[in-house]
Amino acid sequence: MSRAFLALLLRDLRLAARLGGGGGMAVFFFLVVIAIVPLGVGPDRPLLASLAPGMLWVALLLAALLTLDRLFQADYEDGSLDLLSTGPLPLELVAVAKALAHWIVTGLPLVVSAPLLGVLLNLPSAAALPLTLAMLIGTPALSFLGSVGAALTVGIRRGGLLASLLVLPFYIPVLIFGVGAAAAASGGFEGEAGRQAFLLLGAVTLASFAVGPLAAAAALRANLR
């Protein structure tokens, strides 16, 4: 069973590397959004610095949403999903493998690029490390919660927008605690509050690990039949 899981994970990573699209496009979108913020807000450096953690998180959420729609759809359209469901791996673990692959391909590059793009927003250097850490903890939740939306809309042509509408409300806890964790560390509020935000962010991610695959598999089953 673990061999099947690994085979599926490696196939998805390989496909993503060959086709491009996914991760690279998300990072580029992230870059463009962050680059235009100073144009909209104006070159007020203290203002940009205070906006930076929030703007980076919002742009990261949108970039992650952008790549969700193909998570299951490609496999659904070419019949792979039918065969995946006749394998020894339960659909729940299929969903885990695909969400994990999505995180490695899009979540991780976004996290790595965030502190670099922070420079464009005059992100305080003290905040760069905690922000990146918060994103590292929070982004898996985006992939695992997102997989539910992608699974629900798998049969709908151009269902990406609908998936975004369905998923975005569930991203709000990640956003709130993620920004809280970063702001606390950059001096917004001290000590205990920041630690709590980190713990709550971790709790959201762990909850998404537990709930996401179950819900995604249920949605896939409903769509397959």
Residues that bind another protein (CB under 8 A): 3-4, 6-8, 11, 14-15, 18-19, 77-80, 82-89, 224-225
Which structure tokens are listed for 210?
């537990």
| Alpha-carbon gap, residue 48 to 46, rounded angstroms | 5
Is the distance from CB of 80 to CB of 8 less than 8 angstroms? no
Is the distance from CB of 98 to CB of 8 less than 8 angstroms? yes
Between residues 150 and 183, which has the closer beta carbon with respect to another protein?
150
| Alpha-carbon gap, residue 94 to 8, rounded angstroms | 8
| Least separation in angstroms between CB 5 and another protein | 9
Least Cα distance to 149 among 70, 207, 77 occurs for 70
| Least separation in angstroms between CB 38 and another protein | 38
Between residues 44 and 78, which has the closer beta carbon with respect to another protein?
78
Least Cα distance to 212 among 88, 71, 92, 69 occurs for 92
State the amino acid at position 93 in one-letter form.
L
| Least separation in angstroms between CB 76 and another protein | 10
Between residues 158 and 225, which has the closer beta carbon with respect to another protein?
225
| Least separation in angstroms between CB 25 and another protein | 16
Between residues 11 and 196, which has the closer beta carbon with respect to another protein?
11
